[in-house]
Amino acid sequence: LANFLTMLPANLEYASLQRELRPKDAAVLKTCAHIRAVGDDLVDFSDTAAVCELMDVVIGVDTSIVHLAGALGRPVWVLLPFNPDWRWMLERADSPWYASARLYRQRCARDWTPVFENLKADLQRRWPMRQNCGPVAGRIAGKIDQKIDAPAANFLGGIAIALAAQIAEMIE
């Protein structure tokens, strides 16, 4: 996880939607001021959906969160292993299931570096001038309060990363 996080542009803010983080992953996330772990504040899929609606893009591996974001029509970038689930098909960067999905594929088994490099380049291309917004609780909290209960209203927003534990496990 630590290696992956170094490949994220530091001028953006991130929210990890991952629930039940491994202790070592939770410790790594706590050291990153631009990443807020909100998974424990999400009680059910309606909470997760509300947060996905507030994000510029949801990034993750093949999890229920990326399927939820895709079903909601939210921009979703999916990081796929060399041998993905059949639903993602082969040799394409889009998905017939989710028009808002962009697929980032491993070209060689267990080699995530090119995937992360492409992801970083696309994040920088998509949000080139966005400066670190600092805490955006004021901007986002009101919107969250309208959609979900107060525990999640403390979250910081920007770009959702829905993959902390899964990516760390795939890399190791």
Residue 127: the pLDDT is: 84
Residue type, 40: D
pLDDT tens readout for residues 25-35: 889 988 988 88
Q: 14-18, 55-59, 127-131, 142-146: lowest mean pLDDT where?
A: 142-146
Which pTM does this prediction carry? Answer: 0.78
Residue 147: the pLDDT is: 47
Q: At residue 49, does pLDDT exceed 50?
A: yes
Residue 148: the pLDDT is: 41
Residue environment code for 10-47, b if the CB has 16+ CB neighbours within 10 A, otherwise e: eebbbbbbbbebeeebbebbeebebbbbbbebbeeeeb
More reliable by pLDDT, 70 or 153: 70
Q: Under 8 Å CB-to-CB from 13, ≥6 apart: which residues? A: 34, 35, 36, 132, 133, 136, 156, 157, 158, 159
Do 78 and 102 meet the contact criterion of CB atoms below 8 Å apart?
yes
Query: Band of the pLDDT at 161, cuts 50, 70, 90?
Result: low
What's the average model confidence in pLDDT over 81-88?
A: 91
DSSP characters over the chain: -HHHHTTS-TTS-EEE--SS--HHHHHHHHT-TTEEE-GGG--SHHHHHHHHHH-S-EEESSSHHHHHHHHTT--EEEEE-SS--GGG-SS-SS-SS-TTEEEEE-SSTT--HHHHHHHHHHHHHHSSSPPP----HHHHHHHHHHHS-GGGGG---SEEE--HHHHHHHH-
Q: At residue 94, does pLDDT exceed 60?
A: yes
Query: What is the C-alpha to C-alpha distance for residues 154 and 167, in angstroms, rounded to an integer?
Result: 25
pLDDT tens readout for residues 96-155: 999 999 999 999 998 999 999 999 999 999 988 655 444 433 334 444 444 444 333 333
Q: At residue 164, does pLDDT exceed 50?
A: no
Cβ-based neighbour number of residue 148 at 10 Å: 22
More reliable by pLDDT, 2 or 67: 67
Query: What is the C-alpha to C-alpha distance for residues 33 and 14, in angstroms, rounded to an integer?
Result: 9
Most trustworthy range by pLDDT among 5-9, 12-16, 39-43, 91-95: 91-95
End-to-end CA distance of the chain: 9
